[in-house]
Structure 1
Amino acid sequence: MAQPTPIRGLGPDSELGQAARRILAGRLADVRKPEAKLSDELDDDGVHDMRVATRRLRAAIQVFRPLGGLGKLEVEVKRLQDALGDVRDLHVQAAWLEEVAKKARREKPDTRAGIAALGKARLAGLKAKEKRLRSELERWASRTVPRMLRKVDALEDDHRFGGRRVKEPLHWRVRRVRKRMQVYMDAPDAASAHALRKDLKKLRYELEIFQPAFRRTLGALVEVLVPLQEGLGELHDADVRLEVFERLAAGGKPRERKAARALLPLIREGRAKRSAEIARELQRWHAEAIPRRLIQVLM
């Protein structure tokens, strides 16, 4: 995953308005870096990097929204994020099917044609989604970016960057993640895993934003979040894949049904493996008291 540009020169005594202007400008610059790559070809890496960057930008907008004037901009950024996500999701599915097809050539040649048909069906809507993404990229560059630059330059707030106004929402976010973890451990289904993943991601992005506001570094603890977040992302991909292929196995065309049924055991096996890895990671979080340590650092 691409890392955000470090924001230098901020500390706990910086003005919140100054911190907001600099951080939002940095997150906007991070979105614009992969944008240039996508002008000619919507390649997988460029789409992925820009999608992650828009998530971080949205997180920063949500954090600094109380300063005023950012609500509509968040809607605009989400439009771009959603268009990037639609293309990225098809890229991920196609890559997985391509990998499985290579294995099928050696082990199950009779299902190869069905897997190829599934891959073709998955990519059938890609052109339309790419067309929408190109339209959103044009809107982003011509309308959203100029508006965002004007709004960001006007942000003012003389509260301390490391004050209570910052710490209380972060404490709330850590407590929310801890509750989501407990819900998932009690019932580790797709819905509880997805909810935990979303809140963990938001926590990570918010901690990245406010890291300069704390004299004691958050860097090491932020990195602790990464394996669990990535594991939950892989579990989510497996859950989406499972839902899609169960539907195809029940109601697809004859060749697609056969291939989907052949692939379902592999998908379920992969999901079980991801689930076991997450269980071990959650045990580590409990053993190392990571939520409590986060709260202590944020005091």
Structure 2
Amino acid sequence: MPPPTPIRGLGPDTALGDAARRILAGRLADVRHPEAQLDGALDEDGVHDMRVATRRLRAALQVFQATGKLTRLEADVKRLQDALGDVRDLHVQDQWLDTAAKGKKDADKALAGLRQSHLSGLKAKEKKLRAELERWTDRTVPRLLKKLDSLEDAHRFAGKRVRSHLRQRLRRVEKRLERYADAPDAASAHALRKDLKKLRYELEIFQPAFRRTVGALLEVLVPLQDGLGELHDADVRLELFERAAAEAPPGQRKAARKLLPQARDERAERSEQIAREVQRWHAEAIPKRLRKALT
């Protein structure tokens, strides 16, 4: 996952409006950087990089909502993010199927049929993404650039309001962790992943205000989020193969049944990885250290 562009020269006493203008400009630049990779064929790395960048831009738009009316712009960015996500999700599972097909000559045709069936909606999703990219370039970018000049807020970048918001975000993650510990299923893992992602991107935004403390804690948070992302992909894949094993045409059912043990093993491996990261989260007292940094 590519890191965000560093924003230099911000500190705890920077006016929130000034910080908003500079950070949003940086996040916008990060979204625009992969655009060249998507001019012709929709490059898989370009789709992934732009999707991550739009998530970070949306997080910044949500965080800085009080500096100007940004709700509509955030919704426009979400449209692009969703279109990127629809294509990216198909790319991820197709990459896995491509790897799984290697060395299985007896199942080549069946796997090819399974891949073709899985990718049947890709063209429609790519068409939608191209339309959203055009809308992004023609409408959203000019509106966002115009909006940047009007953002104002005299509150401190690391003021009470910001700290309170981040502490609330942390409490949501802690509750999600408790629910996941009680029931480590796909639904609780996905909910934890979404809230953890929001906490991460918001901590990245305010990292310049909290110096090294937040940066060190992000080093622990990031592997947990990444692992949850891989677990989500494994859950999607497992559901895909279980349905194919029951409902697909005969050749594809056979291929899906052959792949199910591998998919289940990988899901179990990802789940064990998450358990280790959660244990590390508690062993290193991450919530306590974060609360202290945000006091």
Q: In 2, Cα distance between the equivalents of 1:103 and 1:194?
A: 32
Q: In 1, Cα distance between the equivalents of 2:80 and 2:30?
A: 14
Q: In 1, Cα distance between the equivalents of 2:211 and 2:228?
A: 30
2:222 paired residue among 211, 222, 226: 226
Q: Conserved in 1, the CA contact under 8 Å of 2:66 and 2:153?
A: no
Q: Which amino acid aligns with 1:179?
A: K
Aligned residues: 295
Counterpart mapping for 1:171-210 below 5 A: 171-210=167-206
- Measured against aligned partners, the alpha-carbon deviations of 1:186-226 in whole angstroms (never above 9, x if no partner) come to 10000000000011111110000001122454111112111
Unaligned runs of 5+ in 2: none
Q: Conserved in 2, the CA contact under 8 Å of 1:15 and 1:161?
A: yes
Q: Conserved in 2, the CA contact under 8 Å of 1:216 and 1:297?
A: no
Please name the residue that 1:78 is paired with.
78
Q: Conserved in 2, the CA contact under 8 Å of 1:228 and 1:278?
A: yes
Q: In 1, Cα distance between the equivalents of 2:9 and 2:244?
A: 54
1:103 deviation in Å? 3.2
- The runs of 4+ residues in structure 1 deviating greater than 3 Å are none
1:21 deviation in Å? 0.5
Counterpart mapping for 1:1-299 below 5 A: 1-105=1-105, 109=106, 111-299=107-295
| Local SS of the residue matching 1:103 | coil
Q: Conserved in 1, the CA contact under 8 Å of 2:24 and 2:60?
A: yes
Q: In 2, Cα distance between the equivalents of 1:216 and 1:102?
A: 45
Unaligned runs of 5+ in 1: none
Q: In 1, Cα distance between the equivalents of 2:5 and 2:219?
A: 16
Q: Which amino acid aligns with 2:4?
A: P
Q: Which amino acid aligns with 1:185?
A: A
Aligned residues with identical type, % of pairs: 71
1:6 deviation in Å? 0.3
Distance 1:187 1:154, change over 3 A: same
Q: In 2, Cα distance between the equivalents of 1:96 and 1:195?
A: 24
- Measured against aligned partners, the alpha-carbon deviations of 1:68-109 in whole angstroms (never above 9, x if no partner) come to 31000111001000110111111111100000000323xxx2
1:284 deviation in Å? 1.1
Q: Conserved in 2, the CA contact under 8 Å of 1:171 and 1:298?
A: yes
1:253 deviation in Å? 1.0
Q: Conserved in 1, the CA contact under 8 Å of 2:59 and 2:201?
A: yes
Distance 1:68 1:258, change over 3 A: same
Q: In 2, Cα distance between the equivalents of 1:215 and 1:52?
A: 24
Q: Conserved in 1, the CA contact under 8 Å of 2:21 and 2:148?
A: yes
Q: Conserved in 1, the CA contact under 8 Å of 2:245 and 2:252?
A: yes
